[in-house]
């Protein structure tokens, strides 16, 4: 019984840490940067920070609305959003199975810390671009790990473009903030 209670607590804490809403000026900037087109899916819509800016023909999943991403099997041109971090690997795996382009805003260590993830990326294609935002706190996330937007592209074997997204975001959204 105690064990069950413990598991429930751990599950609730993990789920809470997974629900991090993206500020709209950041999601808008990312969409303008990666330029998704065709059939676009936000796999975990939350309150729509990404979904609302996607071009027509868009679709969404969101567990809280009874639409589990893992039940979505249709092929897409793009999957774009801010996935739950505790199941990032599973999200990425399913995304790679159904989409030609996958764009995820995540703590950068989620991508680089595990060889199994690097292997999955290499098997799928490669990283087309990374937009770096620096500490999560700079984009109002409740943690200080560095955050970036990764565009994974099926079959991609070219170079990876790295953009310091934070400079542009702060210049546009907050003229009082200087990034040195
Ligand atoms: C990090 S939040 C991001 C919310 C939103 N995309 C944003 O950027 O503001 C992750 C979201 O994933 C949802 N989620 C978790 N597991 C899911 C699943 N299996 N299918 C669909 N949504 C899921 C959570 O309910 C939460 O809203």
To test the pocket of ligand 1, the residue of 14, 50, 63 to mutate (highest count of ligand atoms within 8 Å of its CB) is 63
Q: What is the mean pLDDT of each run of 10 residues along the chain (180 residues)?
A: 47 63 95 97 98 97 98 98 96 98 97 96 98 92 94 98 79 44
Question: Which tokens go with 159?
Answer: 């170079």
Q: Maximum Cα–Cα distance for the chain, whole Å?
A: 54
Q: Where are the domains of the chain?
A: 20-170
* CB 50, CB 83: distance < 8 Å: no
Task: State the pLDDT at residue 18.
Answer: 79
Q: How confident is the model at residue 28, as a pLDDT?
A: 96
In this structure, which topology does domain 20-170 adopt according to CATH? Rossmann fold (3.40.50)
- Find the helix or strand (DSSP H, E) in which 133 lies: strand 125-135
What pLDDT does residue 177 have? 39
**Residues 6 or more apart in contact with residue 121 via CB below 8 angstroms:** 92, 111, 127, 152
For residue 4, the model assigns a pLDDT of 52
The best mutation among 18, 43, 107, 140 to test binding of ligand 1, ranked by most ligand atoms within 8 Å of the C-beta, falls on 18
């Amino acid at each position: 019984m105690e064990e069950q209670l413990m598991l429930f607590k751990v599950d609730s804490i993990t789920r809470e840490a997974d629900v991090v809403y993206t500020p709209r000026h950041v999601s808008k900037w990312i969409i303008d940067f990666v330029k998704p087109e065709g059939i676009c899916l936000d796999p975990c819509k939350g309150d729509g920070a990404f979904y609302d800016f996607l071009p027509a023909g868009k679709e969404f999943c969101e567990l809280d609305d009874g639409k589990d991403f893992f039940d979505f099997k249709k092929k897409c041109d793009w999957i774009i959003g801010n996935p739950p971090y505790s199941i990032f690997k599973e999200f990425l795996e399913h995304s790679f199975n159904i989409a030609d382009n996958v764009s995820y805003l995540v703590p950068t260590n989620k991508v680089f810390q595990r060889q199994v993830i690097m292997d999955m990326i290499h098997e799928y294609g490669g990283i087309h671009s990374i937009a770096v935002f620096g500490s999560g706190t700079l984009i109002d996330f409740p943690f200080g790990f560095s955050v970036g937007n990764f565009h994974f592209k099926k079959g991609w074997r070219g170079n990876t473009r790295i953009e310091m997204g934070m400079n542009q975001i702060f210049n546009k959204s907050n003229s009082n903030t200087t990034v040195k």
